[in-house]
Structure 1
Amino acid sequence: MELTLPPWASVLAVVLATFLFLGAVFGRRRRPSMNLPGPKPWPVIGNFNLLGSLPHRSLNALSKQYGPLMRVHFGSFPVVVASSVDTAKFFLKTHDAAFIDRPKMAAGKYTTYNYSNIGCWRQARKLCADELLSARRIDAFEHVRREEVRALVRDLHASAGRVITLKEHLSTTSLNIITRMVLGRKYADKAGVASGGAVKTWKEFRWMLDELFLLNGVLNIGDWIPWLAWLDLQGYVRRMKQVGKMFDRFMENVLEEHDERRRREGDAFVVKDMVDRLLQLADDPNLEVKLTRDRVKGFTQDLIAGGTESAAVIAEWAISELLKNPETLAKATEELDRVIGRDRWVTEKDIPHLPYIETIIKETMRLHIVAPMLSPRLSREETSVNGYTIPAGTIVLVNVWTIGRDPELWDAPEEFRPERFIGSKIDVKGQDFELLPFGSGRWTCPGYSLGLKVIQVSLANLLHGFEWKLPHGVTKEELNMEEIFGLSTPRKFPLQAVAEPRLAPHLYTA
């Protein structure tokens, strides 16, 4: 059958061909000189043809060919990729100040209030550390984490013996912990969303969070080939605008509820949650950088989304690996029985006394790091490293996924071996460049301490309270361990598992 094109198609083809030619010519002229090794770029698209659906793995393969410090082109822009401890330390520590800026991407404009969130605004991180996520404030909410983890085990107990989708339960728990800390109450559960506005059901709320994470991690062509941005070839910008508007309606409703309580209570008003504190700071005329309403919403959105996703992803990967490695699972439950006993649940105070559980968490973060490539940085000034020149305006990516699989650092790096961390001083707080699940330097995740507590106490109690099995007929060899790429890297296929209670029945209903 012959394909008939509409009359305007030939005109559009000529226009696009002209744009492509001009982009190739002028794009090449604009590129700063750089003598780093790397693959030869194609006109216009650069090295996009070398990136698959999992860019961290594609860049890992290229680094084996061109070395731990290489240059690639994403469309019109030169990008330096660091894939070793030494190169990561160069950008994140030694010359942190020279690479402190962040490139402006469409996702930041349309989904984070025009770059008003924690990840785009440097002063926000100090505010988080001092006001919202200080050790004192996190400790004050310990009862919230305890209550929601108990709710999780009750929920799993009610589903005992049945096949469950674990991520759904973990995400519910994480979201309830975060919304109680940040917003003052549960704003969502499986029965529905307790706040009006853009979303009405739990399913819609989960979709909104998942969409936000996906769109903030995609390679949007318009970001890298700016003169094609107006076409929105992948449809990402349209989706960014949609989810941005949905979140804004939700956030406005949240802020209005908090403003109403402040007006109603007057002089008797007491700060109960993080939004209360943010609104209080927004009224402070002496604040060094004005905290606008959009910044309050951007902060709040970041706290909800970031706090929900990372803990659930890590815990799901940990259970997945333990199901593939039953000997490791047996060692974990032996430690829990010996240290905790079978007559109570694990508390946050118990975590320092559970070193093997800690090794499992570290090994999971090494093998299944949530953010395989740290957030991109932008060089402020020309810098030299190992005889190579990195011009000002160059985008830098640190591929921590590659570092976590470096055979010079790790024995049998593709295998799940928590024992490698027994007696090791390697931590996850950003000072040990072999393992950077939360980043390092001035862009370290400000909520890492909270996220770590949620991961530790939830995983410990999941292992303490239940015997975990794969569904009937599924062997450990058949368990699919593929991931998908976005702002986080969750399982491609959510884990299906069966949880059987292993403690006294009365503990699950207490």
Structure 2
Amino acid sequence: MLPWLSLLLLFLPLLLIIAVKRRQGQLQPPGPPQLPVIGNLHHIGKLPHQTLWKLSQKYGPVMFLQLGRVPTVIVSSPETAKQVLKVHDIHCCSRPLSEGTRKLSYDHLDVAFSPFDDYWKEVRKICVQELFSTQRVHSFQPIRDEVIQKLIDSISESASTNSLVNLSQKLMSLTASLTCKASFGMSFQGSKIDNDRFQMLVHEALQMLGSYSASDFFPLVGWIFDWFTGLHRRREKIVGDLDAFYEEMIDLHLQENRQGDEDFVDVLLKLEREQAALGNAQITRNHSKAILMDILLAGIDTSAISMTWAMTELVRNPRVMKKVQAEIRNQIGENARVRFENVNELKYLKMVIKETWRLHPPSPLLIPREVMSEFQINGYTIYPKTRLQVNLWGMGRDPNVWKDPEEFLPERFMDGSIDAKGQSFELLPFGSGRRICPGILMGSVMVETALANLLYHFDWKLPDGMAVQDIDIEEAPGLTVYKRTPLELVPVRF
């Protein structure tokens, strides 16, 4: 007995050292104090990306929050974003299933969101082939020219009468027309849903996806709270209206005398008729509508938001406006239109767009991920079932990354070392890793071409009596961040 006791005493210090090191290796990230039951939900403000950035300045670039029953980690630096989106992408590329996501994906269809799921891989492959490949993006040039020309003609009418133009609305209508025509072979303007209602539906759906729902954080009783606050009814209304739009669109594609080339909806309907299996699921009508929902919500508002914020910042910064217009007009000359092939020569315009994405990323908090297997960031252990988000908005304002971060200075991208394609972790408007947006090229081309035309054809003035410092740059809440008040300017024909 004594020899065994002596041996234990001999190794006890070593065992204690191992235990301490193990605990140190499994440290939980720091975070603000929690309240009983709700955890840190009281710390989430109306604009979560802003309140989370303020908290991360105190608690660091890896921050832990307990949101009801949901453990959540927020990362807010390029280094930690790289660890999440590249180094440990394989451990955390699943998606948490929120109540809003469930409704907008037709009750999830019992199909996993994981990129390792065969269904997910097949759907992404079809979307890339039919919509987002370089060849397909080039093939949409006539549609882009058509919708941009309609925009220019509409603004020219306002310029002739010196009238205000609601650019926020015009740009939303532009991207909606392009997305619907390129993806669905039709315009929402031919639908029973009018322009304003259609735009409101898209905005409300994204606001719903970006909001915090009680049922997400308190599964057993949260739905009662959502019912009393009207959130449940609001969800049902939005989903019902969008579903009616898809049904109308599908019915038009099923007409025997329909004219036009095969489009994305035709591809999905063909898969339905053939009872094709994508991975572990056989395609049904609800699968088709869920896929169309993703295309619609991801494709319409993000480009419009980027263009609205770009025009806002240009009006607020006359020096930059004058410089980018001079580049475009010198390059294009007396041509009637800026075309896709001209855009690659507009280097300063590309810098303006990058700077807009830095200050105003369309999705300020990347869509949440869910951790599947344990890993570490900066020595902190991140456990399975933890919700993980990257705060792009905060990263774009980090003084440790950017000089004069609140200033709109496109020249900071002069050397071209930072791109927006998911490999430069200082600037991630489309995300990165397995969950990167497949529509990078389509979105970039739309923003560049439309902005170049707006800046080529018109000079822009503020309404009478309004000064630059009066421009409202407050944000509206949601998964994507709109300018709270519409951007209204007076166009002057060049």
TM-score between the two structures when normalised by the length of structure 1 = 0.86
Q: Does 1:130 align with 2:129?
A: yes
Distance 1:411 1:331, change over 3 A: same
Q: What does residue 172 of structure 1 align with?
A: 173
Q: What does residue 93 of structure 2 align with?
A: 100
CA contact (8 A) 1:367 1:404 kept: yes
1:328 shift after superposition: 0.5
SS of the residue corresponding to residue 80 of structure 1 reads strand
Residue of structure 2 aligned with 1:353, choices 333, 340, 345: 345
Q: What does residue 370 of structure 2 align with?
A: 378
Q: Deviations over 1:407-443 (max 9, x none)?
A: 1211100110011111222111111110000111111
Distance in 1, Cα, partners of 2:65 & 2:277: 45
1:153 shift after superposition: 0.4
Q: Deviations over 1:463-495 (max 9, x none)?
A: 001001110100001111111120110101111
SS of the residue corresponding to residue 159 of structure 1 reads helix
Q: What does residue 44 of structure 1 align with?
A: 37
CA contact (8 A) 1:118 1:125 kept: no
Identity fraction in percent = 35
Q: Deviations over 1:331-362 (max 9, x none)?
A: 01110121111332111101110000000000
Q: What does residue 274 of structure 1 align with?
A: 264
Q: What does residue 468 of structure 1 align with?
A: 460
Q: What does residue 10 of structure 2 align with?
A: none
Residue identity opposite 2:270 in structure 1: Q
SS of the residue corresponding to residue 216 of structure 1 reads helix
Between 1:241-250 and 1:61-70, the stretch displaced more is 241-250
1:181 shift after superposition: 0.9
Q: Deviations over 1:19-39 (max 9, x none)?
A: xxxxxxxxxxxxxx8621111
Distance in 2, Cα, partners of 1:391 & 1:121: 17
1:92 shift after superposition: 0.7
Distance in 2, Cα, partners of 1:349 & 1:284: 41
Residue identity opposite 1:272 in structure 2: E
1:203 shift after superposition: 2.3
1:299 shift after superposition: 1.5
Residue identity opposite 1:391 in structure 2: Y
Q: Does 1:247 align with 2:242?
A: yes
Q: Does 1:209 align with 2:195?
A: no
Distance 1:117 1:442, change over 3 A: farther
Distance in 2, Cα, partners of 1:258 & 1:292: 16
- What is the total number of aligned residue pairs between the two structures? 457
Distance 1:180 1:360, change over 3 A: same
Q: Does 1:326 align with 2:322?
A: no
Residue identity opposite 1:278 in structure 2: L
1:132 shift after superposition: 2.9
Distance in 1, Cα, partners of 2:380 & 2:319: 47
Distance in 1, Cα, partners of 2:322 & 2:133: 36
Distance in 2, Cα, partners of 1:38 & 1:149: 47
Residue identity opposite 1:281 in structure 2: L
CA contact (8 A) 1:36 1:71 kept: yes
Distance in 2, Cα, partners of 1:410 & 1:384: 26
Q: Does 1:501 align with 2:493?
A: yes
SS of the residue corresponding to residue 176 of structure 1 reads helix
Q: Which runs of 4+ in 1 moved over 6 A?
A: none
Q: Deviations over 1:43-71 (max 9, x none)?
A: 11111111211110111011111110010
1:280 shift after superposition: 2.2
Distance in 1, Cα, partners of 2:131 & 2:164: 38
SS of the residue corresponding to residue 358 of structure 1 reads helix
Residue identity opposite 1:446 in structure 2: P
Q: What does residue 469 of structure 2 align with?
A: 477
CA contact (8 A) 1:82 1:88 kept: yes
Distance 1:392 1:287, change over 3 A: closer
1:225 shift after superposition: 1.8
CA contact (8 A) 1:117 1:302 kept: no
Q: Deviations over 1:198-227 (max 9, x none)?
A: x3x222222211211111111112211222
Distance 1:117 1:328, change over 3 A: farther
Distance in 1, Cα, partners of 2:51 & 2:176: 32
Instruction: After TM superposition, list the pairs within 5 Å mapping 1:358-437 onto structure 2.
Output: 358-437=350-429
Distance in 2, Cα, partners of 1:125 & 1:174: 21
Mark the runs of 5 or more structure 2 residues left unpaired by the alignment: 1-25
Q: Does 1:237 align with 2:229?
A: no
Distance in 1, Cα, partners of 2:443 & 2:110: 18
Instruction: After TM superposition, list the pairs within 5 Å mapping 1:131-210 onto structure 2.
Output: 131-160=130-159, 161-188=162-189, 194-196=190-192, 199=193, 201-210=194-203
Distance in 1, Cα, partners of 2:35 & 2:330: 60
CA contact (8 A) 1:37 1:66 kept: yes
Distance in 1, Cα, partners of 2:28 & 2:114: 32
1:284 shift after superposition: 5.9
SS of the residue corresponding to residue 221 of structure 2 reads helix
Between 1:234-243 and 1:110-119, the stretch displaced more is 110-119
CA contact (8 A) 2:214 2:223 kept: no
Instruction: After TM superposition, list the pairs within 5 Å mapping 1:302-313 onto structure 2.
Output: 302-313=294-305
Q: Deviations over 1:132-174 (max 9, x none)?
A: 3211112111110011101100000011121121111111111
CA contact (8 A) 2:173 2:195 kept: no
CA contact (8 A) 1:96 1:441 kept: yes
